């Protein structure tokens, strides 16, 4: 009789998955025919979750992210030390159905949570809630590339919906460089292919490749987060960052439009309520 040892490690997903040739996978990718510095088709809605302080839902192409802001919580009181600034805690989680490989999902959640905190740190006015902790959560429902940049933009909108004091609006975008082709707003297939490539350096003479995520504020011209993975020369890096900043500014138009519509909706509701109260007084 065969015994089962519960302490044995599980075989990860993809161990028996046949490995495909990288060049063949690259040939199957849809290459951009011209340079288009435009964001994907974007759907954005604020106030999607009722039992939190603020929330937002964003569809960036086929990538779907939900963000929510919890009410600030007071930190443990320390009689000898008082921090004049508040603390933000960011977490990014994937829905169980969004990723097949649990090990890859855990790695993505870890680095995306750290990157999200770095991006939102310069945005929030931490001095407005000293000794308080602000928790920001993002849930990736579907990942078709640009998940980190979508989460940054969505959380920035959720902060505004929550009424949290911020210095500016924030937007983010992504680009992949692979075999001399620049993929702006890359799909998950492009990102997965890029992550599967071996680490390269200038010393071995291989071509540059990598992924870049840039988050920027709307009016201050400040880059709040810059994430890069891979080998990219400095002049190429500077040019790609300038292109991403253009995309961020154009995505900002959508963010502003949604927020303005939300304000108009609240003003219309207040007027209706005020008109209703006036009619009740007159009838009385």
**pLDDT score for 255:** 95
Half-sphere exposure of 95 (CA within 13 A, CB side): 13
Residue 276 has pLDDT above 80, yes or no: no
pTM confidence score: 0.85
Position 167 in a domain = yes
Q: What pLDDT was estimated at residue 120?
A: 95
Let me know if residue 233 belongs to a domain. Answer: yes
| Phi-psi map region of 221: left, alpha, beta (phi>0 left; psi -120 to 50 alpha) | left
When pLDDT is averaged across residues 68-79 and rounded to a whole number, the result is 80
Output the pLDDT for position 80. Answer: 53
State the total domains in the chain: 1
With bands split at pLDDT 50, 70 and 90, how would you rate the model's confidence at 82?
Answer: low
Mean pLDDT of 117-127: 93
Q: What is the pLDDT of residue 134?
A: 93
Q: For residues 264 and 208, give the distance between their C-alpha atoms in angstroms, rounded to a whole number.
A: 48
Domain that holds residue 69: 36-282
1: DSSP letter: -
pLDDT category of residue 265 using cuts at 50, 70 and 90: confident
Whether the per-residue pLDDT at 11 is higher than 70: the answer is no
Q: Tell me, yes or no, whether 10 lies in a domain.
A: no
Residue 267 falls inside a structural domain: yes
Domain annotation covers residue 15: no
Examine residue 268 and state whether it is found in any structural domain, yes or no.
yes
User: Is 127 a member of any domain?
Assistant: yes
- Structure confidence by residue, pLDDT tens digits, 210-264: 999 999 998 877 899 999 988 899 999 999 999 999 999 999 999 999 999 988 9
Tens-place pLDDT, residues 34-51 = 888 999 999 999 988 888
Q: Is residue 5 part of a domain?
A: no
pLDDT of residue 86: 86
Which CATH number covers residue 201? 3.30.230.70
Instruction: Show the 3-state SS of 139-155.
Output: EEEECCCCHHHHHHHHH
Which pLDDT tens digit goes with each residue over 190-207? 988 887 776 544 444 567
Q: What is the mean pLDDT of residues 17-26?
A: 64
> What letters, b where the CB count within 10 A reaches 16 and e where it falls short, cover 236-265?
ebeebbebbbebbeebbebbeebbeebeee
């Amino acid at each position: 009789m065969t015994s089962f040892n519960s302490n044995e490690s599980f075989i990860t997903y993809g161990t028996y998955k046949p490995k495909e040739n990288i060049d063949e996978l690259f040939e199957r990718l849809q290459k951009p025919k011209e340079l288009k510095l435009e964001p994907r088709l974007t759907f954005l809605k604020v106030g999607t979750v009722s039992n939190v302080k603020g929330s937002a839902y964003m569809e960036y192409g086929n990538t779907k992210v939900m963000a929510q802001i919890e009410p600030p919580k007071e930190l443990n009181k320390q009689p000898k030390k008082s921090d004049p600034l508040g603390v933000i805690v960011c977490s990014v989680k994937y829905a169980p159905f969004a990723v097949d490989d649990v090990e890859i999902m855990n790695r993505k959640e870890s680095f995306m949570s750290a990157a999200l905190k770095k991006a939102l740190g310069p945005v929030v006015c931490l001095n407005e809630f000293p000794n308080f902790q602000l928790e920001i959560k993002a849930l990736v429902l579907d990942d078709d590339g640009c998940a980190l940049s979508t989460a940054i933009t969505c959380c920035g909108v959720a902060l505004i919906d929550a009424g949290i004091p911020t210095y500016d609006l924030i937007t983010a975008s992504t680009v992949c460089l692979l075999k001399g082709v620049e993929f702006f707003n890359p799909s998950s297939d492009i990102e997965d292919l890029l992550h599967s490539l071996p680490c390269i350096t200038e010393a071995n003479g291989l071509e540059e490749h990598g992924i870049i995520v840039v988050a920027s504020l709307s009016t201050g011209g400040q880059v709040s987060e810059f994430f890069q993975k891979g080998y990219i020369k400095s002049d190429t890096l500077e040019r790609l960052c300038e292109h991403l900043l253009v995309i961020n500014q154009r995505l900002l138009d959508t963010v502003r439009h949604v927020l303005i519509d939300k304000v108009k909706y609240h003003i219309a509701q207040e007027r209706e309520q005020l008109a209703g109260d006036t009619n009740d007084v007159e009838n009385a």
